[in-house]
Structure 1
Amino acid sequence: MPTEGVYIRPNGQKTFIPLENNPEVFTSLVHDLGVSPDLGFYDVYSLDDADLLSLVPRPVLALIFIAPEPVYYALRNQDGTTVSPPQLTYDKSGDEEPIIWWQQTIGHSCGLMALLHSVANGEARKFVLKDSFLDGLLNQATPLKPVERAAALYNNEELEKKHMKAARTGNSQPPGANEENFNHFISFVKGKDGHLWELEGATDGPLDRGLMREGDDVLSEGGAGFGCAQVFKGQQWEPKL
């Protein structure tokens, strides 16, 4: 039985109420999932203004961007990345992966995917509390192939409840799960291989954006902030830690 507010599309796809782009909502959800209170999300108002950047606590372990649909598809057309492939070619799992990646099969869950990608990888993974809900989910999902891993999320009723609880909070009236949503969340993290990875569930696997300099976080000049400034040059986007 779906959680109250979850919509099942005519094609049978489970669809959530989307998360508000709000650091308080994001932080509340990851803490509820089982991330240490020492880790949180913050707005990043500029990648160029040193004074505004100084307001962001460092190190920055992940950077999330939200892009409106026209910008998102312009970016994907520009870099040649396939969106919603009919069949995945990415097939890695476990120790084969420098990062853990999820395919998005739940409608309107790109915010949840961005949060999971952000806290399940790199240094942020160390903040997942032992024996928490998220710790159990990651232990279950890490050795699985992508299709089975996505199914583990899709069929997890507790994750569904936690997402829907968070989706009803924030400063605005959340849209219904059956309403259209025209924004896309994308997460950038530093993998255990030292590379910058672009992660979202609509692509055919994770995107390697190159080796980062040792000691840099993702908001350093050689990290996601610099890389995204180039990728999104001429477009409108909103970054978030």
Structure 2
Amino acid sequence: MYRKHFIPLESNPDVFTELIHSLGVSESLCFEDVLSLDDPELLAFLPRPAYGLVLVFPTTESYEKRTEEEDAKLEEYVSSGADEDVVFFKQTIYNACGLYALLHATCNGPARDFVEKESTLAGLIETGLSLEPEERALVLEKSEKLESAYASVAAKGDTAAPEDPEDEVDFHYICFVKSHKNGQLYLLDGDRKRPISLGPLEKDEDVLSKKCLDVIRTMMDSGGGENINFSLMALVPADS
């Protein structure tokens, strides 16, 4: 399944922000830590709207078993083109789930309007949008500009990155976005068979809505409760 290997990204909003800017997302967007799922005052500090959420969490046998059982009931995703509810990237680069979550956040919904023309990311979207998942995955694999931008930030952060890209990492990134077409909340994980619809959001709701935060709380509870190893970042407007 994995044909290429990257050093994993640290769950750090500064690292994620630097990477999206180097790929061509306007500096008017950035990633910020979500410090609480329940405290209204802490949530109120985040600029709105939130265009995407990136969740990193420890993978466990129970999580992997549950997702395998869920995926067994789903059809493989084969959609492409402008009619897609969301842009979905199948993960074929090992240890790069943070990159795929970042791409899912920036290529979907209104966030895509902040991708600058002629940028690396704009080129990837233009080339890959009309392709089915397998071919779209190859576009990412073959992009030297994407790999170069990724490598320039992957070694940054507060913790040392693994020296070998093939080292196994026990954490996984997923993304939550709101569809630009039908207002549905989606969980996007390049390791899953397809985008997972979580139901509709109201017109004035973003991904920091109660519906999405409830999904994340459930995931944390299934992992043993309030786990400090869970980390959440939001793609939001940057402070002017």
TM range (shorter): 0.7 to 0.9
Which residue number in structure 2 is paired with residue 93 of structure 1?
80
Q: Which structure 1 residue ranges, 4+ long, deviate > 6 Å from structure 2?
A: none
CA distance in 1, matches of 2:116, 2:47: 21
Asked if structure 2 preserves the Cα contact closer than 8 Å seen for 1:81 and 1:203, the reply is no
Instruction: Indicate yes or no: 2:155 matched with 1:168.
Output: yes
Letter in 1 for 2:231: E
CA distance in 2, matches of 1:75, 1:12: 17
Which residue number in structure 2 is paired with residue 3 of structure 1?
none
* Distance of aligned partners of 1:12 and 1:136 in 2 relative to their CA distance in 1, 3 Å threshold: closer
Which residue number in structure 2 is paired with residue 8 of structure 1?
none
Letter in 2 for 1:178: E
2:42 to 13, 28, 52: 52
Instruction: Indicate yes or no: 2:188 matched with 1:195.
Output: no
Letter in 2 for 1:111: G
Which residue number in structure 2 is paired with residue 6 of structure 1?
none
Counterparts of 1:124-203 in structure 2 under 5 Å?
124-176=111-163, 177-192=165-180, 193-203=182-192
2:233 to 217, 224, 240: 240
* Distance of aligned partners of 1:41 and 1:12 in 2 relative to their CA distance in 1, 3 Å threshold: closer
Which residue number in structure 1 is paired with residue 199 of structure 2?
210
> Could you tell me how far 1:217 is from its partner in structure 2?
0.8
> Could you tell me how far 1:82 is from its partner in structure 2?
2.6
Asked if structure 2 preserves the Cα contact closer than 8 Å seen for 1:121 and 1:189, the reply is yes
> Could you tell me how far 1:12 is from its partner in structure 2?
7.9
The alignment partner of 1:102 has SS state of coil
> Could you tell me how far 1:55 is from its partner in structure 2?
1.8
1:219 to 208, 212, 219: 208
- Give the TM-score normalised by the residue count of structure 1: 0.88
Per-residue deviation, residues 190-230 of structure 1 (Å, max 9, x unmatched): 011100010011000111111111110110223x2233223
* Distance of aligned partners of 1:170 and 1:78 in 2 relative to their CA distance in 1, 3 Å threshold: closer
Identity among equivalent positions (%) equals 38
Which residue number in structure 1 is paired with residue 63 of structure 2?
74
CA distance in 1, matches of 2:176, 2:64: 15
Which residue number in structure 2 is paired with residue 41 of structure 1?
31
Asked if structure 2 preserves the Cα contact closer than 8 Å seen for 1:75 and 1:232, the reply is no
Letter in 1 for 2:206: D
The alignment partner of 1:187 has SS state of strand
